[in-house]
Chains A and B, each alone.
Chain A
Amino acid sequence: MLHIVNKSPFEKDSFTSCMHHAAADSTVILIEDGVYAALKGSAVEGDLSKAKVVALSSDVAARGIEGNIADGVDLVDYAGFVDLVTDGNGVQSWV
């Protein structure tokens, strides 16, 4: 299962809700302001270990935080995003 989070965890609680519901073997992709959840040392960093978390590289770059991403969070491009959507057994957007 792929979960998509597009809002900052400091604006809405969609990331936190998602991480509390996502199965351990699911993948969470952070896009748009959602990439702020991948910041190293943030208040929500502990949630990142609850599932596999990746972040959209272009949205990370647009916000200038490439050098400050938590360990274990991989970056993917749009082609990788599409693969994650098609590889799993479903997709859920936490809008």
Chain B
Amino acid sequence: MKISVQINEGPYQHQSSDSAYNFVKAALDKGHDIVRVFFYHDGVNNGTRLASPPQDDRNVQQRWSDLSKEHNLDLVICVAAAQRRGIVDDGEAERNGKDATNIMDGFHISGLGQLIEAAVESDRLVVFGD
């Protein structure tokens, strides 16, 4: 079955990024197709590469990136939410005159249309977060 996931909450905020990650892994293990993972609102903070959590703790952002590489996942960050929170890729840095980028490998920044498209093309859209 085709499943997409929306995450509205940042890493280490409550639990939703962890819940979504475990859900996506379980769905992949069962052979389902994850069409897209869409990061919205504070969820865009899952896509920074500059976090340094303690070594004995999980690295939420890196974990998404690794899962994306392993399963060729489409990890999309909402552009308007990213601009507000300072999640920046090369294109956004140039467009908004920023001197650095911080996007994690495997994520990309795009518009809300990607969420609508994911909902239309998937059999299920599962929302995690506040």
Give A residues with C-beta under 8 Å from B: 4, 6, 31-33, 58-59, 77-79, 81-83, 85-86, 90-91, 93, 95
Contacts of A33 in B (CB 8 A): 14-15
One digit per residue, 1 when the CB lies within 8 angstroms of any chain A CB and 0 when it does not, for chain B 107-127 equals 000000000000000011111
| Docked CA distance A4–B124 (Å) | 13
One digit per residue, 1 when the CB lies within 8 angstroms of any chain A CB and 0 when it does not, for chain B 9-29 equals 000001110010011011101
Q: Is the interface of B mostly helix, strand, loop or mixed?
A: mixed
Question: Which of A6, A58, A83 counts the most chain B CB atoms within 10 A?
Answer: A6
Query: Nearest 3 CB-CB pairs, A to B?
Result: A78-B26, A93-B127, A32-B15
| Docked CA distance A85–B123 (Å) | 10
- A sample of 16 more A-B contacts (CB under 8 A), given A91-B126, A95-B127, is A4-B126, A4-B127, A31-B19, A32-B14, A32-B16, A33-B15, A78-B22, A78-B25, A79-B26, A81-B23, A82-B23, A82-B30, A86-B1, A86-B32, A91-B124, A95-B8
Q: Is the interface of A mostly helix, strand, loop or mixed?
A: helix
Q: Are B19 and A32 in contact (CB under 8 A)?
A: yes
Assess whether B130 is interfacial by the CB under 8 Å rule: yes
Contacts of B32 in A (CB 8 A): 82, 86
Say which residue of B19, B26, B125, B128 sits within 8 Å of A82 (CB atoms): B26
Number of A-B contacts (CB under 8 A): 54
> A85 with B124: in contact, given A6-B19, A78-B22, A95-B129 (CB under 8 Å)?
yes
Assess whether B3 is interfacial by the CB under 8 Å rule: yes
Contacts of B25 in A (CB 8 A): 78
Q: Interface residue count for B (Cβ, 8 Å)? A: 23
Contacts of A59 in B (CB 8 A): 15, 19
Task: Jot down 5 A-B pairs with beta carbons below 8 A, ordered by A.
Answer: A32-B16, A82-B23, A82-B27, A82-B32, A93-B127
| Docked CA distance A93–B5 (Å) | 11
Q: Are A81 and B26 in contact (CB under 8 A)?
A: yes
A46 to chain B, nearest CB (A): 26
| Docked CA distance A95–B19 (Å) | 13
A89 to chain B, nearest CB (A): 10
